[in-house]
Amino acid sequence: MTRKPVIYPVFLPNAGCPFQCMYCDQHAVTAVERHSARAEQAAAQIAFLAKHAQNKETRGEIAFYGGTFTGLSRSYRDQLLLLAQGYVDQGIFSGIRFSTRPDSMEADTLRSLARYRITTVELGIQSLSDTVLRSSRRGYTRRLALEALEVVRQYPWKLGIQLMLGLPGDTPERFLASVRTAIGAQPDFVRIHPTLVFPGTELATWTSQGRYLPLTVQQAVDWCVPAYDACIQAAIPVARMGLLLPSDFGSSSAVATGPWHPAYGQLVRSMWWRRRIDSSLKQWPGRIAGRSAALHVGPRYVSDVIGWKRRNLEHWRHKWDLREVSVEQRPDKQGMSFDLGITA
């Protein structure tokens, strides 16, 4: 089982961004004020995280999120990198990670980054459909985004791709095509999250005017399941599905509308398992109504197979008229394989 990387995030809300994207509210997403992007606040964040990493005795990457890192001024960017690299050199952090826009990848900037111990670059591509990029006013084209992916691959850095579903102009077909194109770039991982509508954004205005209709949670799950499956088939890790939001976000005044769910990733994974097992039950030779089903899976996947609030078990009992459905962990099960047994 691949271990998730340990990440120590420094949030720089909208720092380096050429403009505010129509859907973006970094304060709502990170609970970090804009002034935290200032050098002194960022330096304090880095020092705090270094101490935390030392106390945990767990090395991980120091990560700069929330803005366009390569869009920062050269002097500010170097200041942050020198601070971070000092802790990397001491063995406290394992490397440096940052997120940025694909249209902020100038050759001179990347050459200047090469002297630092960068380990991972995450590109906020969001979509690889020109229709969606244009409708969402991202300010770049599919071709430019693909060129940015190729540029990153010229350096010894891990490449992550961030994608969004349900942006203005998006459809299930366009989103899945974007995912498949992204997979073709052979990233080291992808992140996927549905479009949320935050108060005060241009997208919130569009929503109130009827120009944009957010997805429901179920629609967002249905869009994402084929994308998740495509990543699995291509052996591309999905680092996360759904935004990681502040702990008090469930009070929900921060979200005007949109498909937010605290367990969105699990909903997608569980639906993926549900459809696989439905297919196996459908093909089962002989009558299964009134009988019991037993599923054997690796320990890592038990909760996803059972489903959020045990909904998969309820689904299989009702859909297939089963008397009982059990899920048992088997340490010897390899990968995402499963065994299905039907008993009287």
Nearest to 10, CA basis, from 47, 63, 54: 63
- Are residues 160 and 306 both part of a single domain? no
Q: Is residue 268 part of a domain?
A: no
Q: Over the Cα atoms of the chain, what is R_g?
A: 22
- pLDDT score at 152: 95
The 10 Å Cβ neighbour count of residue 165 is: 27
Q: Which domain, by its residues, includes 319?
A: 284-343
- pLDDT score at 147: 97
Q: What is the dihedral of CA 68, 74, 76, 82, to 10 degrees?
A: 100
- pLDDT score at 254: 58
Q: Is residue 157 part of a domain?
A: yes
- pLDDT score at 148: 96
Three-state DSSP state, 239:
strand
- Are residues 160 and 228 both part of a single domain? yes
- pLDDT score at 63: 97
| 250-254 CB contacts, 8 Å cutoff, 24+ apart | 254/25, 254/28, 254/198, 254/199
Domain containing residue 243: CATH number: 3.20.20.70
CA angle 222, 223, 227 (to 5 degrees): 115
Q: Is residue 62 part of a domain?
A: yes
- Are residues 139 and 199 both part of a single domain? yes
- Are residues 251 and 339 both part of a single domain? no
pLDDT, tens digit, 9 for 90 and up, residues 287-326: 899 999 999 999 999 999 999 999 999 999 999 999 999 9
| 205-210 CB contacts, 8 Å cutoff, 24+ apart | 206/22, 206/168, 207/256, 207/257
CA atoms within 13 A on the CB side of 334: 0
Quote the number of domains for the chain: 2
Residue 185 CA, distance from chain mean position: 17
Q: Is residue 1 part of a domain?
A: no
- pLDDT score at 286: 85
Instruction: Extract the residue ranges of the chain whose pLDDT is less than 70.
Output: 1-3, 26-37, 246-256
Question: Token match 């935290």: residue?
Answer: 36
- Are residues 182 and 328 both part of a single domain? no
- Are residues 323 and 236 both part of a single domain? no
Q: 313, 274 in Cβ contact below 8 A?
A: no
The last residue of a domain, from among 227, 262, 297: 262
- Are residues 160 and 39 both part of a single domain? yes
Q: 69, 16 in Cβ contact below 8 A?
A: yes
- Are residues 256 and 293 both part of a single domain? no
- Are residues 180 and 105 both part of a single domain? yes
At how many degrees (to 10) do helices 311-319 and 264-282 cross?
30
Residue type, position 342, single letter: I
Q: 248, 205 in Cβ contact below 8 A?
A: no
- pLDDT score at 41: 87
Q: Is residue 336 part of a domain?
A: yes
The last residue of a domain, from among 262, 295, 329: 262
Q: Is residue 270 part of a domain?
A: no
Q: Is residue 312 part of a domain?
A: yes
Q: Please give the helix or strand (H or E) that residue 181 lies within, else none.
A: helix 172-184
Q: Is residue 227 part of a domain?
A: yes
pTM to 2 decimal places:
0.92
Give the DSSP per-residue string, 60-111.
-EEEEESS-GGGS-HHHHHHHHHHHHHHHHTTSSSEEEEEE-TT---HHHHH
Q: What does DSSP assign to residue 299?
A: G
- Are residues 257 and 317 both part of a single domain? no
Q: Please give the helix or strand (H or E) that residue 161 lies within, else none.
A: strand 158-165
- Are residues 184 and 49 both part of a single domain? yes
The last residue of a domain, from among 208, 231, 262: 262
Three-state DSSP state, 165:
strand
- Are residues 241 and 292 both part of a single domain? no
